[in-house]
Amino acid sequence: MPQLLKEKTALILGLANRWSLAYSIARAFCREGAQLILTYQGDRQQETVEELARELGAARVMSCDVTQEADVERLSEMLRAEGDDLHAVVHSIAFANKDDLARPFQMTSREGFQLALEVSCYSLVAVARAVAPVMRQGGSITTLTYLGSQRVLPNYNVMGVAKAALEASMRYLASELGPQQIRVNAISAGPVKTASARSIKDFSKILETVAEKAPLRRPTDPEEVADAAVFLASNLGRGVTGNVLYVDSGYQIMGI
């Protein structure tokens, strides 16, 4: 099999540890021959991410807190200074206060609502604006979303609202960046035990239900999500933009 991302440079944002979906995606991109640029949020993850970056043979790794305009600008400057074209971007970032993922939705604070929307949704807009100028030959931007954008899932709360806004932002970006041949899509992954997922109260119940009820009768394997990200970033996905691609063992089709 030819490597699907050979001679492509990919920026992956949101790698925190080995359980991150971004890590599975980075491994799959590496397998397919992509040159990787990785970002992480801040000092807390630096050592871990740098170790993973070495393991993956990443060309570059840098911190980028997406709530900091200066960090996004620094990322943009670095990409421009490198002078190389960027072909693929994966936005694998979300955050909400743990309290807001454990109590009734109506109790969500104004600050908690703004924070969740800023980190989990607006960051895609800011990143797209920063990377588009260096995606000179066009390319692919992929974000990660979840079924809680469309349906009510216990305790997903404000993150469901953020994911709905993220999916709508994805469509507006796809429409605007399409003429530059930049495709923008979302992968709606089934539940996977990661650091972020563990902050949702009773997350293990969601995991069990999906594994039991999904047409494929098994939980989502992060490698399946990563392979879908490879497809979207590669030439095989060249006609696909503005889409939400479900990689969830088929769970989203079920009524009950």
Place of tokens 């349906």: 151
> Across the chain, which distance is largest between two alpha carbons, in Å?
52
Mask of contacts with ligand NAP, 146-175, x by CB under 6 A? x-----------------------------
SS (H, E, C) 4-18: CCCCCEEEEECCCCC
Interface with ligand NAP: number of residues (CB under 6 A): 28
Identity of the residue, 32 or 156, whose beta carbon is nearer to ligand NAP in the bound complex:
156
For 36, residues 6+ apart whose C-beta sits below 8 A from its C-beta are 9, 10, 12, 26, 29, 30, 53, 56, 57, 58, 59, 60
Q: How far apart are CA 72 and CA 231, in angstroms?
A: 26
Per CB under 6 A, the segment of 88-96, 99-107, 211-219, 231-239 that binds ligand NAP is 88-96
Asked about 146 being catalytic, the answer comes back as: yes
- What residues between 183 and 202 interact with ligand NAP by CB under 6 A? 189, 191-192, 194-197
Binding-site string for ligand NAP from residue 101 to residue 120, where x marks contact by CB under 6 A and - marks none: ------------------x-
* Closer by beta carbon to ligand NAP, 66 or else 232: 66
Distance CA 101, CA 175 (A): 32
Residues 16-75 that bind ligand NAP (CB under 6 A): 16, 19-22, 41, 44-45, 65-67
Q: Give the Cβ contact number of residue 229 at 10 Å.
A: 31
**Alpha carbon 91 to its chain's center:** 4
The yes-or-no answer on residue 172 being catalytic is no
Q: Could you say which of 23, 146, 246, 251 is catalytic?
A: 146
> Which residues are known to be catalytic?
146, 156
Instruction: Summarize as ranges the residues that interact with ligand NAP (CB under 6 A).
Output: 14-16, 19-22, 41, 44-45, 65-67, 92-95, 119, 144-146, 189, 191-192, 194-197
